[in-house]
Structure 1
Amino acid sequence: MDHEKVNILLVDDQPAKLLAYEVILKDLGQNLVIASSGREALEVLLKTEIAVILVDVCMPELDGFELAAMIREHPRFQKTAMIFISAIQVSDIDRLRGYEMGAVDYVPVPVVPEVLRAKVKVFAELYRKTRELERLNQDLEDRVRARTAELENSTAKLRESEERRSMAIAAGKMGSWDWDWITGDWMWDEGQYRIFGVGPESFEVNPANVQALLHPDDVDQLRKAIAEFNKGTRSYETEFRIVRPDGDVRWCVGTAAATVDDSGRVMRVSGVTVDITERKRAEERQTLLAREVDHRAKNALALAQSIVRLTRADEVKAYVSAVEGRINALARVHTILSLSSWQGAELSKLIDEELAPYSLGGQIKLAGSEVQLLPATAQTLALALHELFTNSAKYGALSTRTGRLAIGWQVEDELLTLTWEESGGPLVMTPKSRGFGTRSLLASVESQLGGQARSDWRAEGLLCRLEVPLVRKTAATTAPGNFEAASSAELQRASG
């Protein structure tokens, strides 16, 4: 610390005098900072920590007195040492004015190098010692604060630990117990009683009564724990189930530790019981969700595989376009179902998704209330709607600006009836043969969903009527794994 350099600011408008001050003060071994005007000095002060300021009284624009006054107005520099250098005879009034402005000493011109060095050295050393003392005080304060914080933190942790234990007990998630191995006496706390669903006023804690509350498949866990302690085991942990008097089954994890005497004989066993039922149920839900995701992925892949394998086209470009359209339709409905956690999809959302690629203004009119579809029904209808939209955009009402399309639907006795009515488009003629899209639409609606699909090729436009049951009629169609098989089989028959 004694060899730490400090910054000394030299302020004078005459370069020759600044050079002379530098030569005189160089032997002090400090950092000399130069400023050729009052304004430049102020800029240096705002950027650099200064120990001593050596300033000329007579300077243009901003003289030494004015500079000192401005420096003293700033809170950071109210104690900074300033030495005035004056080339004129200084009167007592001038000295008084200088001291009022913040000067700590005067040096007359011509400057005596030894005197200037001595004065600057004194104030530089004073600044260094002051800073060292401040650092020591700060270090002491930091240590006191650190010790205080440690004590407060330790106290807070103890308080927090007790609060967590109290909260856990109050929430019925944790309980503690104690078993006197010699006398057979048991002690349960309130949390233990709550986990087991009994009360101290009606339940006597003893091995027989405790065993009666254990799940029959987990009774051996208690016997195994007792046997382990008799063999010299000092701690034991296991998961087990209990059956409360009201029939509620709870999962618990129990931890026990033995206290022994000098001969190693077990004197008592103490433990903690934690109710982990919610965690177990979450694990079961996660497992079911993983299986469901796997099942849904297989469904989607089976449909995609069938679409790719069975799509027909005369040109590669047409084939790619058809496959992409059907895969995209499948992807869109998959997104809708994913957002609902595969609980189902609204019919209006399926139609909106199929409408998205088209900019048709007011050509399409929709009418119908909200209808929730099962996942399998939503997938099939999404592909059917895609075929209808695609055919209409290529050959029907949506292929011209004058064409109009009305889609309406209603539900009665769990039967969805959807009407597709085109008008104003090109003249329609009954096709001599049905394409893959039309045949797969009919096959999927009728065979997969147990519904009916009727098409009337009127001259003014196609009229299609789909009737789809909203409740599946057979267990076979809803069993996991059947949907993808049915999809592939029906699309295969449609392609034939």
Structure 2
Amino acid sequence: MDHEKVNILLVDDQPAKLLAYEVILKDLGENLVIASSGREALEVLLKTEIAVILVDVCMPELDGFELAAMIREHPRFQKTAMIFISAIQVSDIDRLRGYEMGAVDYVPVPVVPEVLRAKIKVFSELYRKTRELERLNQELEDRVRARTAELENSTAKLRESEQRRSMAIAAGKMGSWDWDWITGDWMWDEGQYRIFGVSPESFEVNPANVQALLHPDDVDQLRKAIAEFNSGTRAYETEFRIVRPDGEVRWCVGTAAATIDANGRVVRVSGVTVDITERKRAEERQNLLAREVDHRAKNALALAQSIVRLTRADEVKAYVNAVEGRINALARVHTILSLSSWQGAELSKLIDEELAPYSLGGQIRLAGPEVQLLPATAQTLALALHELFTNSAKYGALSTRSGRLMIAWQAENDRLTLTWEESGGPLVRTPKSRGFGTRSLLASVESQLGGQAQFDWRAEGLLCRLEVPLTRKTAASPAPGKFDAAAAAELQRASG
């Protein structure tokens, strides 16, 4: 049988003996390494892996005992087999000394070839088996280490996967459950308890208790699902509502799958519950917003149509300017309302937008607290203020640098009072008839807002007083299309 050769070190100061040892051991088929002195043997040992050392006890300078002692001091050679050859009769004390130095056997001279070969062969095989065992042990340790690392990695991945699952369930408001169809036993995870607003300590999971948490209008869906599983359905999904113990209603989507036995009978149903309340609310808000946008768009278009149809002017240019001014006023208040998500508008911001083209040289003064206006109120007041600013710039205080305008307002008992006071402008005369701007202002404030508009045409300047409710829902929330039809009718009567 082929095997890896081992190195056998032969140490003797006499060449003839070394040659004899080579002849005797040649048939073993091992590598024979020659050293003619103890020091040469040490050099060989440091460079070569030796299985067995055959050393002569009697050598000059460094005898066998001294060599053995030096060999054993080195950690690499503490277990290397050494056989002493002695040409003299050794006593028991010498043998004991040899064994203490690390010898494993003695061979007397004359050497019996068969005996020497047998001894060398035994220790060579022992060395080979020992190395093989060490190799196998190392391989085993490597495999165990690799397997351990693999298991640790697998465990870490499993733990990480479970953590991700738990995080996903928590973040996604999910829960899982398991129902033993035969025994009726239920199993809920933490997410399931959280969705239903109950705790494992105080809530017993059973059909009666679970049904008690379902919305009364959705109980039939549970019965339907059970019936479908009994009739062969293997998977089921539905949306349903639950009523938590604190009274809160939550929307959920449930998915369930059945496990069947060899006979095709349902033995277990497992499922996942997802809390979709926020999604449902978002859908409701989106639908409401879509209806609101549609309503507001119709209102804005109807109001713009009324402005275009009812504006009067002697020239095309004057007509275009008037229409553009009123449409721009409507656009400005629309921008303010959009920034507040149509929750309302601050009166001061509304006035600032309208007076921006006229605020020159400190002619205009404002005084009043912060007042929040409803969207419809803001739209109507924006158009009213636009008409007042336009008329003042054409005929009143803002038509000359000496003119002054004071706008003051206050809010008491949910009612806004705004005073427009001009002075220092051209001499004012009471008009023989009301223009479209004045008539539309009166119609919108009084009809649409349920307020009042009073004009005092004083010689030193116009004094206008507007009173409108702050909380009354007038044109703010009519049915789609109704608000601006009424506005158009009022403006039509005003223009008549």
TM over 0.5: yes
Alpha-carbon separation, structure 2, partners of 1:20 and 1:394: 138
1:169 is displaced (CA, Å) by 4.7
Query: CA offsets per residue over residues 244-293 of structure 1, 9 Å max, x none?
Result: 22221111111111222223222211111111111111111111111111
Structure 1 stretch displaced more, 338-347 or 93-102: 93-102
Structure 1 stretch displaced more, 200-209 or 178-187: 200-209
Structure 1 stretch displaced more, 348-357 or 29-38: 29-38
Structure 1 stretch displaced more, 215-224 or 145-154: 145-154
Aligned residues between the structures:
496
Structure 1 stretch displaced more, 269-278 or 206-215: 206-215
Paired residue secondary structure (2:106): strand
Structure 1 stretch displaced more, 400-409 or 324-333: 400-409
Structure 1 stretch displaced more, 14-23 or 153-162: 14-23
Alpha-carbon separation, structure 2, partners of 1:14 and 1:386: 130
Alpha-carbon separation, structure 1, partners of 2:37 and 2:68: 13
Paired residue secondary structure (2:228): helix
Alpha-carbon separation, structure 1, partners of 2:411 and 2:118: 104
Counterpart residue number, 1:192 = 192
Structure 1 or 2, whichever has the larger Rg, is: 2
Alpha-carbon separation, structure 2, partners of 1:13 and 1:364: 126
Structure 1 stretch displaced more, 66-75 or 163-172: 66-75
1:227 is displaced (CA, Å) by 2.2
Alpha-carbon separation, structure 2, partners of 1:327 and 1:13: 123
Q: Give the direction of change, closer, same or farther, for the CA distance of 1:259–1:74 in structure 2 (3 Å limit).
A: same
The 8 Å contact of residues 329 and 386 in structure 1, kept in 2 or not, is answered as yes
Structure 2, unmatched stretches of 5+, are: none
1:470 is displaced (CA, Å) by 1.2
Aligned identity (percent) is: 93
Alpha-carbon separation, structure 1, partners of 2:218 and 2:245: 17
Query: CA offsets per residue over residues 152-196 of structure 1, 9 Å max, x none?
Result: 999998666433432355569221111111222111122212222
1:199 is displaced (CA, Å) by 2.7
Structure 1 stretch displaced more, 196-205 or 59-68: 59-68
Q: Give the direction of change, closer, same or farther, for the CA distance of 1:101–1:227 in structure 2 (3 Å limit).
A: same
Structure 1 stretch displaced more, 278-287 or 376-385: 278-287
Counterpart residue number, 2:208 = 208
The 8 Å contact of residues 172 and 195 in structure 1, kept in 2 or not, is answered as no
Alpha-carbon separation, structure 1, partners of 2:163 and 2:458: 77
The 8 Å contact of residues 375 and 476 in structure 2, kept in 1 or not, is answered as no
Alpha-carbon separation, structure 2, partners of 1:365 and 1:67: 117
Counterpart residue number, 2:451 = 451
Counterpart residue number, 2:56 = 56
Q: Give the direction of change, closer, same or farther, for the CA distance of 1:25–1:265 in structure 2 (3 Å limit).
A: closer
Counterpart residue number, 2:35 = 35
Q: Give the direction of change, closer, same or farther, for the CA distance of 1:149–1:349 in structure 2 (3 Å limit).
A: farther
Structure 1 stretch displaced more, 3-12 or 353-362: 3-12
1:455 is displaced (CA, Å) by 1.1
Alpha-carbon separation, structure 1, partners of 2:26 and 2:111: 15
Paired residue secondary structure (1:465): strand
Structure 1 stretch displaced more, 325-334 or 84-93: 84-93
Alpha-carbon separation, structure 1, partners of 2:439 and 2:35: 93
Q: Give the direction of change, closer, same or farther, for the CA distance of 1:262–1:392 in structure 2 (3 Å limit).
A: same
The 8 Å contact of residues 446 and 453 in structure 1, kept in 2 or not, is answered as yes
1:200 is displaced (CA, Å) by 2.9
Alpha-carbon separation, structure 2, partners of 1:56 and 1:329: 121
1:118 is displaced (CA, Å) by 59
Counterpart residue number, 1:389 = 389
The 8 Å contact of residues 407 and 420 in structure 1, kept in 2 or not, is answered as yes
The 8 Å contact of residues 448 and 474 in structure 2, kept in 1 or not, is answered as no
1:209 is displaced (CA, Å) by 2.2
Counterpart residue number, 1:144 = 144
Alpha-carbon separation, structure 2, partners of 1:397 and 1:46: 116
The 8 Å contact of residues 11 and 37 in structure 1, kept in 2 or not, is answered as yes
1:456 is displaced (CA, Å) by 1.3
Alpha-carbon separation, structure 2, partners of 1:393 and 1:429: 16
Query: CA offsets per residue over residues 29-56 of structure 1, 9 Å max, x none?
Result: 9999999999999999999999999999
The 8 Å contact of residues 172 and 194 in structure 1, kept in 2 or not, is answered as no
Alpha-carbon separation, structure 2, partners of 1:354 and 1:46: 102
Query: CA offsets per residue over residues 329-384 of structure 1, 9 Å max, x none?
Result: 00100111111111111111111111122351211111111111111111110000
Structure 1 stretch displaced more, 256-265 or 120-129: 120-129
Q: Give the direction of change, closer, same or farther, for the CA distance of 1:292–1:42 in structure 2 (3 Å limit).
A: farther
Q: Give the direction of change, closer, same or farther, for the CA distance of 1:408–1:117 in structure 2 (3 Å limit).
A: farther
What root-mean-square deviation, in Å, do the aligned CA atoms of Structure 1 and Structure 2 show? 16.0
The 8 Å contact of residues 87 and 109 in structure 2, kept in 1 or not, is answered as yes
